[in-house]
Chain A
C-alpha cells in the first residue's frame, strides 16, 4: 500500500492539505478522520460554493470531491478549477455513486485525475489512491 511520506512534512502547515467536498455528514466525517489519522490536513466542506471559496483562500495539494452536491455540483466545480490558471494543476479525485461510464468519462475529460465509485471501494482504497496522487506530486 502507498503511504504518505511523513518525514517531508514537519509542522502542521507543511502537512499535505486536502480539500474534501461531501454533502453527506456521515461519509464526510468518516473520511476526514481517516485522512487526518493518515497525517493530512483536511478542510471538509459540504457544498461546491463553499469549496470554491476555500480553494481560492488556501490552495490545496489535492481536492477530493463528491459529484452530486446541492447548488454547484462536482463537475461544475471541477470545470472552474481547471479553467483557473492558478488552480488547474491541483489534482482532483472525483468521488460519487454515479457509476456509469459516461459519468466517469465526463469527469476524466474535465481533468479529474481519478474517479472512484463510493459503493465499490473501501476507505483503505481511497487512502491508497490519495497517497499515490500526493506522492506523485512530491
Chain B
C-alpha cells in the first residue's frame, strides 16, 4: 500500500476528527429528550455551520504554515554554486549603484569647487584693484608702517588669487575634466607671456632675469594654456624661493625629440632627500617652508599633471643652498605629422 504523505495525513486526520466531533454532538443532540424536534434540526444546522467554519479556519492556517515552510526549505535546498551566482549578481548591482552615486557626488563636488572659485574671483580682483589703486595713488599721507601693511595685504590677496586658481586646476584634474587642446606652437610665445606676467614681481624683488631663446628651434606640440600654467608655477617658485638680488634664468634648448624650457635660479635649493617628493600633492620642502610659510604644495603637482596630459614631462635638478633648475619637456611638433 502506498503510504500517505505526512502532510496529507495530518490534514485528513484533522478533518476526520472534526466530522467525528460533529457526529458525536449530533447524536447527543438527537438523544436529548427535553429539546423539541424543530429545535433539534436548528441545533444540528448550527453545529454544521460551526464545523464548516472550523474546517475553513484550519485550511487557511494550514496553507499559511505550509507556504512559509516551502520558502524556507527552498532556500535550504539551493545549491551552493547557485547561491554564489546570486550573490555575485547582487554585488555587481550594488557596485554599479555605488559607482553611480560616487560619480554623482564627485561631479557635484567639482561643480561646487568650480562655482565657488568663479564666485571668489570677482571680489578678489576687486580687492586687488582697490589695493593697487591705494598703493599707486593714495599712500602720500600714509606712514611707512601703513604703506607696508597695504603692500602685505596686496601680497596676501595675490596668494589667495593663486590658491583659487590652483583649486580650479585640481578640481579639473581630479574630475577628469582636464581637456587638452594641443596643436603646433612656438614655445617662445608662451615664455614671453609668462615672463611679462611675472615681470612686476621680478622687479619688485630686485631679481636679475636672464633669457636665452635660440631662433632655430622647432615648434612644439602642446596646449598653450597648459604649458603657460606649468611654466607660470615653475617661474613663480623660482621668484619666491630666490633671495632678493638673486638671479633667475629662463632658457630654451633642444634635446632629441623634445624642446626643453629650463627655469634656473640660484635660490634656496631642494635637499637631496626631498627631491623625489616635491611633485607629490601638498608636499612642501623644509627649505621652502622656512623661506615662505604660506603655500599649498599643490603647484608642482599641478605642473606635472599639466605636462603629462600633453605627452610632456617635468624634471628637476637642484643643490641645497645653491639653487634649482626645472625642465619642462615638450614633444617637437614633427612627431605628430
Contact = CB atoms under 8 A, between A and B. Distances in A.
Interface of A: 24, 26-27, 30-31, 34, 68, 97, 100-102, 118-120, 122-124
Given A27-B126, A119-B125, 11 more contacts: A26-B123, A27-B122, A27-B125, A31-B129, A34-B133, A97-B118, A97-B125, A101-B224, A120-B197, A122-B136, A123-B133
Contact of A118 (B122, B132, B181, B228): B122
Interface string B95-136: 000000000000000000000001001111110111011001
A31 B224 CA distance: 30
Chain A interface mostly helix, strand, loop or mixed? helix
Interface residues of B, number: 21
Chain B interface mostly helix, strand, loop or mixed? helix
B128 A26 contact: no
Contact of B126 (A30, A68, A100, A124): A30
Interface of B: 118, 121-126, 128-130, 132-133, 136, 161, 165, 181, 197, 223-225, 228
Nearest to A125: B132
A123 B122 contact: no
Which 4 A-B pairs rank lowest in CB-CB distance, beginning with the nearest?
A122-B132, A118-B125, A97-B121, A101-B225
Nearest to B162: A119
Contact of B136 (A27, A120, A124): A124
23 contacts: A24-B122, A24-B126, A26-B126, A27-B126, A30-B126, A30-B130, A30-B133, A31-B129, A34-B133, A97-B121, A97-B125, A101-B181, A101-B228, A102-B181, A118-B122, A119-B128, A122-B128, A122-B129, A122-B132, A122-B136, A123-B133, A124-B132, A124-B136
B286 to A, nearest CB: 31
Contacts of B161: 119
Nearest to B227: A101
Contacts of A102: 181, 225
Contacts of A118: 121-122, 125
B121 A119 contact: yes
B124 A119 contact: yes
A122 B130 CA distance: 9
Nearest to B224: A101
B129 A123 contact: yes
A123 B130 CA distance: 8
A31 B128 CA distance: 13
Contacts of B126: 24, 26-27, 30
Contacts of B197: 120
A26 B133 CA distance: 14
A34 B181 CA distance: 38
Nearest to B130: A30
Nearest to A126: B129
B136 A97 contact: no
